[in-house]
Structure 1
Amino acid sequence: VSLNFNVWLHVDAAYAGSSFICPEYRDRWFKSRQRIDSFVFNPSKWFLCCFDITAFWVADSTTLHNAFSVNPLYLQHKMSNKAIDFMHWQIPLSKKFRALKLWFVIRYFGVEKMQEYIRRHEQLAKYFARLVLSDDRFEIPVGPFLGLCIFRLKGPNELTETLLAQITSEGLVYMVPATFLKDFIIRFTVTSQDTTEADIDRDWGIIRKWAEIILDKVRKTVPPGFFTKPITSKTEQEEIFTNLEEDDLKINELQSNATEDRVFTHRLSDGYQYVVRSSRTDVQLRNVRLSKVSLWPLNEEIVNGSFATAMDNKKALARLLCYITWVLRIYRRWSLKPTESTLASSLQLDETRAHNLIEFLKKLTAN
């Protein structure tokens, strides 16, 4: 299409671009590389560089020069026509020396070690995928792809969303959500050069533990003989849930499209079916808390998970900023004015900090 209509073809290979240091990945995923006009990837995602840095390649820099070149007298010097000046390639005249850290990584590890690092992560992702597929309660919609494996609990989105919320709240493994063909999925990404099969086994053990807890909660909400006949009416559904206790594993601020109460069936390997209940608006209001998927000051010892900031939970300032963010989101979403006791319980603050936080928010909203 780009050749037929003379359209600029740009490739944003933010994550996958790091793998192109290996010839087999270039041939597998990037067969049209000779026909592109520009290409970028982020070494901070999978190339052992810290944030922020982007590697940029362009087939013909003439277009950039025509758009961005400036040549006033105060910018001219003896070497103006003898060296590449990147101020003619971009909007700003100058920028940080981000390329230096990438140069050090390549010089320190070398091409062969970097190739080994990338290939190792793909093998670890496949290892994790085999563990997931060995459990009939889980499924992998697609992949794995390079160092990334997506997975979910079979059944409605609420199950997988609750699973991720509980894993995140524990603070031992950090993973991020996504959607695939309207399914809520969890992204498991190998990103550390020190990750081993033992780390993968540990993480998988945590995932399975919470899956069992959640599914056990679902089992206990099903009355005896519930599935002896099909459920056909809304009235019948309401009668079933009238006397059931509220499940303490709730989904607050659902990212999936489940916004009303309804009955789902979930068939597992043992042949039984279970019921899961979506979180109602009044339940969300009563439990003035946000999804555990929200940012939380995590432990900096986390070695697996997608590219994201992980803060030490001992850093008081980071924790306070997260508290403030949560409270402001509560204000915006539900127009609530929580009391000191509500803040103390929902955000795990002592009363003094809750009082100080409310006073701060009053000043903030007043301005």
Structure 2
Amino acid sequence: MYSLTSGLRVPALQRGLSPTELALAKVNAGVGGVLLASGFVSPPPLWSVGAVGAAAVLLNMSPGPRSLARWATVGYRRLTERTAPPGMTGADGATMTWALYPGQGTIQDPARRAGFHAALSRALTFAGNQARVAGIQVHVTYHSTTVDGYRTHTQTISVHVPKSLGKADRIMGTLEGEFEALGVLIPVDVDDVPEVAERGPGWVGLVDGRYASTARITGWPAQTDGTLMPDLLLGTVRGRLNPNPEPFPDRSLSVLYRPLPEGQSRRSAKWTRAISEAFRMDKVAADADSIADDTTHGALVAGDSLIDLDAYLTTWGDSPEEVTAARLQTDIGADRHRLGLDWLAGQQHRAHVMTSPHGAQTRKGAVL
């Protein structure tokens, strides 16, 4: 596992394209190449050139955090889906979830924290190299809840092995051994995904009475003073809007890791460098990419893998007003730490699933 920023143990954000988008991009590029080649023999019909151009615009032009094609898909899902569809978490394969209890003081002690990160890195590198293409998914969740006035903390780690690999028991057993270096593991049964009973602007109400608002983390700070996670998960940010942080509602944080195999990691690094060198006109941005490419190269030489990563943050409340106020406070805390958040307009009925263990079974593109 590598990081674009030396010393920051968070994998690079590489959400990339969903399988459908990747297929459409390849088909469109292929058709465009054929039309270009045929132009040396006879001019192609204007409508065909226009169709290829329109498809390229839909796939690549991005007003806001999503392309035009993604916005259209989000709108369609918003109109046709009342709650998260069963197929969102119905990927074929084996899935297992453990409750994780790290040793006392693991994160506070620099040496033990480094060992924690190294153990997770080994597990992800092993998972990525079990297939020729990316397939195994590791999903980690952290929940901060208040029970009878006391704050409780729950962490889970889930692994999904696609059916196509055919050796789920062996992979699960090996990964469980790797994860045991992180702390105490206890297998747990996961409750069903709660259905959505009510929807509003930027939030959803679930049948169990809770209200949720979920954001995708789109940018990590280059540096942090060690208060980022306490501020996000424990509600310790003080200020005019929150003079007393104790009443803060529950929060959940999740990270979905999709480790890439060795060959795919190297190809991804090669094409990233080539595209940057070919199309980066800004000299400062080009130099920044060059430094990142050198870091990536060094990590791959050392035997690490690239990680396709998605991270989500959910704020919970007992009413729409409470969850809306918590969302505002979360934005303030994120701004202080230079953390990028996308509140996934039109996708809240799907997004809350990503901060539950069920997120391990989701395919890329489940939340755009």
Q: TM-score, normalised by structure 2?
A: 0.24
Q: Which has the higher strand share?
A: 2
Greater RCO structure (CA 8 Å; 6+ sep): 2
Bigger Rg over Cα:
1
Normalised by the size of structure 1, how large is the TM-score? Answer: 0.24
